[in-house]
Structure 1
Amino acid sequence: MNEILFPVLIVAGIGLIAGLGLAIASIVMAVPKDEKAEAIAEMLPGANCGACGYSGCSGYAKALAHGEAPVGLCAPGGAAVSKAVSGYLGLADAGVEAKVAVVNCLGSYDNTTDKMEYEGIQSCSAAAQLAGGISSCRYGCMGLGDCLRACQYGAIDICNGMAHIEPSRCKGCSMCVKACPKGLITLVPAKKQAVVLCGNCDRGAMTNKICKVGCIGCMKCQKTCEVGAIKVDHFNATVDPEKCIGCGKCAEACPRHCITMMEV
């Protein structure tokens, strides 16, 4: 009997000592909760998109709690989150500049073609590794949906070979911007303004061959703009949202109709 009982007591004793050790360690090594950061994190949308410049909502909440970050960086949360966090911290509401994502391309199958029949992984990132992508335009949208899959708000769909973004659903989180291997998606202020829907930087003659509406760098838009909001560089026009007054003259002057007026 003792031969059985003695080993059982030894094992039980070891278990008791180990349990006490773990209990003491959990108390001594416990990380204190940052209740302030946790409270702020509850106010954030939980998208963890990184648009604020931090690793996620918890990282931004911690920085806010310690006074290391300004209020108003949460684009998906918008004005409501900014107001709530400001009130909690006892600060003046800084507000949030609403932004929306724009696909700077009009390369649907109505305007351009694919240069190959692609049967690989249905991913823009994967297709881009194959001779620069499947579109005839090496700068153009391939329409394989990396941005669609990255969007948590259902703001993106793929139609006729390219991505489209619905401004009313876009939260400006920038996840689609990061997902596009061509760098075709940009965030712009949600206001009336001119937007160049083309990222092509080839010379006009080359662009004419591959796309019906691609920017050819003719500079008519730049010459028309009275406030210096639009510039042509590397045969491609870009608009400075801070300078653009939304007059629409550049869109009227564009012979390729790749400049549009955005109204949100």
Structure 2
Amino acid sequence: MDRASVGGLLLAIFGIIIGQSIDGGRLSSLIQPSAFIIVICGTFGAVLLQSTLFNFMNAFHKLRYVFIEPINQRREVAEEILEWSSLVRKDGILSLEPLMTQSTDPFIQKSLRLVIDGVQPETIKDIGMIELNQYEISQRNAIKVWDSAGGYSPTIGILAAVIGLIHVMENLSDPSLLGSGIAVAFVSTIYGVGLANLVFIPIANKLKTILQDELTNYEMLIDALAAIANGDHTIVVEDRLASYLS
């Protein structure tokens, strides 16, 4: 469980509740189902219109990483790479072949195959960075769903507010209905701005940080395997890895 994400979300909700109640406001006045439905459906409808279904679904699939912090295994991967380097120095490049079949990561499998096939170090780097760039584009397209939701949500909130005011104008002859219509109008704006700045945009930024850590791990792998293919000593490989672990 990512304590920062959970704690931040709870702190934001707690602050709104306390702020509302300090001056005698009622929490129930912030609960407007019609406004919430308009903002949520309108926001994600607009996002889905601009996205592919794959990116839209992938965005929700990645949502779990915001609250369940992925384990950064960079140090463990670095130690494994050092073992590969020592193995190559001792038994040659072909000793990596069993390791390639054991790995479950397609990126690692492909990178090891390039080393085993005797591909030039610079070519290994080029191919690895192309693969990594395509992976980054795919992941950023998914993260963009949350970024876009943060952009559309306040505007949809204003749209819902206008709808609420239209209901007010329609019921000017009945004063008893004016209060609820005005409440929907103002609460809609709160939902739009609040969801954007307290939920959607923070989720996008958190996922960007997680993605950057993942990309750095793969960059370290590409750099180290290119060094192994170049025949660099294990000490040199270790020094290169140390730069990523500092």
| TM norm structure 2 | 0.22
Please identify which structure carries the higher strand content.
1
The structure with more helix, counted as a fraction of residues: 2
Q: Which structure would you say has the larger RCO, counting Cα contacts within 8 Å and 6 or more residues apart? A: 2
- TM-score, normalised relative to structure 1: 0.21
